[in-house]
């Protein structure tokens, strides 16, 4: 497994692509063009040189017979121009070639990492499925594979806060959910966020419904934007829905706060639609005149953290699978006089 999909830079170089990290890749052409410019300068100097006597004068006369000074001067100028052009344009092309090669190396490296991770995940999942196939039915294995082993989106740091307060013979419920949705894949995904309001619960109306806050990664949506996301389901319940984009291996923090009026004796529950590492529930009763019972839609019961009677906290033991969560019941004490 350690060598699956691994592409080394040396493999690219051995396949015929010159290593651009070798400085001689740029030094050698510069040296050649420098020699061309020097040769051109010598040609111009020879055309302008007039020896006065001796052997140099004799050689100069012979040389002048073979090539005219005008030709030598023009030839020298041409060499200098060619050298300068080569040092600028060709050097620029070499740099562009180097950047292209380095970019290709980076893309090969990323592609190799993606292939390795994908193959490793598939092999791990298939290995687990093979082990348990002898003791579990295909239906159970299919659910495990879909909801856990091959889950593309997961949730973490799932915190639910609930504030219960008596108001005009009803109970005002302010609920806040705060969690991170994580993209476990190597591709961009869209998370379809949906929050549905109950029109009625246990044949009792749910009134005074408001959305106090909705933010994604700290960016708050205005009431106008939230209104554009609101729809009515076939059941008649209203809901807020929008698509949230997640880049590969990234997560987004989603905070959603609502308030509504419910009955003095009522029930509310939360269940996650994504595999979740842990769920925490905090219930605050400012007036301390409402009795609260917390249960779980989970094989394990909730652990209550020690704290005051006003703000009580529960933690769901272990990870929560889709459909699991908290069930909260409350009842207003009739013996309390306001």
What helix, strand, coil percent values describe the chain, rounded to 5? 40, 35, 30
Which range is most confident: 30-34, 141-145, 197-201, 204-208? Answer: 141-145
Q: Do 290 and 211 share a structural domain? A: yes
User: Does a structural domain hold residue 193?
Assistant: yes
Please check whether residues 325 and 176 belong to one and the same domain. yes
**Rounded CA separation 280/285 (Å):** 17
Confidence of residue 147 (pLDDT cuts 50, 70, 90): confident
pLDDT band of residue 305 (cuts 50, 70, 90) is confident
Q: Is the dihedral of CA 282, 302, 251, 231 positive or negative?
A: negative
Q: Which has the higher per-residue pLDDT, 248 or 65?
A: 248
Domain hosting 317: range is 151-332
Count of structural domains, the chain: 2
Q: Of 277, 5, 202, whose CA–CA distance to 123 is shortest?
A: 5
Domain-embedded: residue 219: yes
Residue 78 confidence (pLDDT) = 77
3-state secondary structure at position 320: strand
Task: Quote the Cα angle for 328-330-331, to 5°.
Answer: 165
- Among the three residues 96, 131, 166, which one is the final residue of a domain in this structure? 131
CA atoms within 13 A on the CB side of 266: 23
Same domain, 189 and 270: yes
Contact 144/130 with Cβ under 8 angstroms? no
The secondary structure of residue 276, as a DSSP letter, is: B
Mean pLDDT along residues 118-125: 54
**Is the domain of 98 the same as that of 166?**
no
The answer to whether residues 209 and 298 belong to one domain is: yes
Question: Around Cβ 26, how many Cβ atoms within 10 Å?
Answer: 14
Are both 17 and 85 inside the same structural domain? Answer: yes
Model pLDDT, residue 334: 80
Whether residue 43 is found in the same domain as residue 83: yes
User: Which residues contact residue 21 at a Cβ distance below 8 angstroms, ignoring those fewer than 6 apart?
Assistant: none
| β-pairing verdict for 251-262 and 238-246 | unpaired
Determine, yes or no, domain membership for 240.
Answer: yes
- Shared-domain flag, residues 283 and 184: yes
257 in a structural domain:
yes
Q: Indicate whether 164 and 265 sit together in one domain.
A: yes
In angstroms, the CA 47 to CA 43 distance is 6
Structure tokens at 196: 């549905």
My answer on whether 80 and 163 are in the same domain is: no
Question: Could you tell me if residue 159 is inside a domain?
Answer: yes
In a domain? residue 141: no
Last residue of a domain, which of 131, 164, 185?
Answer: 131
Give the pLDDT band (50/70/90) at residue 7.
Answer: very low
What is the percent of the chain with per-residue pLDDT over 70, rounded to a whole number? Answer: 62
CA torsion sign, 336 to 203 to 161 to 157? positive
267 close to 329: Cβ distance less than 8 angstroms: yes
CATH number at residue 189: 2.60.40
| Residue 287 covered by a domain | yes
Residue 137 included in any domain = no
Q: What pLDDT, on the 0 to 100 scale, is given for residue 90?
A: 67
- Which range is least confidently modeled, 40-44, 225-229, 292-296, 328-332? 40-44
Q: Is the pLDDT of residue 117 over 70?
A: no
129, HSE (Cβ side, Cα atoms, 13 Å):
18
Residues 19 and 109 in one domain: yes
The Cα–Cα gap between 276 and 272 comes to 7
Q: What would the two tokens of residue 333 be?
A: 């004490």
Regarding predicted confidence, which is higher, 299 or 264?
Answer: 264
Could you give phi then psi for residue 75, rounded to 5 degrees?
A: -65, -40
Q: Please give the span between the terminal C-alpha atoms of the chain, in angstroms, as a whole number.
A: 70
Q: Answer with the residue of higher pLDDT: 58 or 291.
A: 291
**Which residue, among 266, 281, 246, 261, has the nearest Cα to 329 in the 3D structure?**
266
3-class state of residue 315 by DSSP: strand
Residues 13 and 124 in one domain: yes
Q: Strand pairing of 230-232 and 238-246?
A: antiparallel
């Amino acid at each position: 497994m350690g060598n699956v999909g691994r592409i080394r830079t040396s493999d690219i170089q051995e396949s015929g692509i010159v290593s651009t990290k070798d400085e001689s890749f740029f030094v050698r052409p510069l040296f050649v063009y420098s020699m061309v410019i020097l040769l051109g300068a010598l040609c111009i100097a020879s055309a302008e040189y007039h020896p006065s006597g001796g052997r140099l004068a004799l050689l100069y006369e012979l040389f002048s017979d073979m090539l005219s000074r005008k030709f030598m001067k023009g030839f020298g100028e041409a060499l200098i121009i060619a050298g300068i052009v080569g040092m600028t344009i060709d050097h620029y092309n070499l740099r562009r070639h180097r950047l292209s090669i380095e970019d290709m190396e980076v893309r090969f490296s990323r592609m190799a990492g993606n292939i390795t991770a994908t193959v490793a995940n598939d092999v791990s999942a298939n290995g687990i499925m093979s082990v348990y196939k002898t003791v579990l039915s295909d239906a159970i294995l299919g659910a495990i594979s879909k909801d856990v082993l091959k889950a593309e989106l997961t949730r973490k740091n799932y915190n639910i806060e609930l504030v219960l307060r008596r108001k005009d013979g009803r109970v005002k419920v302010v609920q806040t959910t705060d969690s991170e949705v994580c993209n476990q894949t190597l591709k961009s995904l869209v998370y379809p966020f949906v929050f549905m309001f109950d029109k009625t619960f246990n044949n009792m109306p749910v009134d005074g419904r408001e959305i106090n806050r909705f933010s994604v990664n700290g960016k708050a949506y205005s009431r106008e934007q939230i209104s554009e996301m609101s729809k009515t389901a076939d059941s008649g319940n209203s809901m807020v829905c929008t698509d949230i984009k997640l880049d590969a291996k990234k997560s987004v923090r989603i905070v959603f706060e609502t308030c509504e009026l419910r009955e003095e004796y009522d029930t509310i529950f939360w269940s996650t639609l994504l595999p979740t590492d842990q769920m925490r529930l905090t219930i605050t009763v400012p007036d301390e005149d409402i009795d609260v019972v917390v249960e779980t839609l989970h094989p394990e019961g909730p652990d209550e953290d020690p704290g005051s009677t006003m703000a009580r906290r529960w933690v769901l033991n272990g990870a929560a699978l889709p459909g699991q969560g908290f069930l909260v019941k409350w009842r207003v004490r009739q013996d309390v006089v306001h």
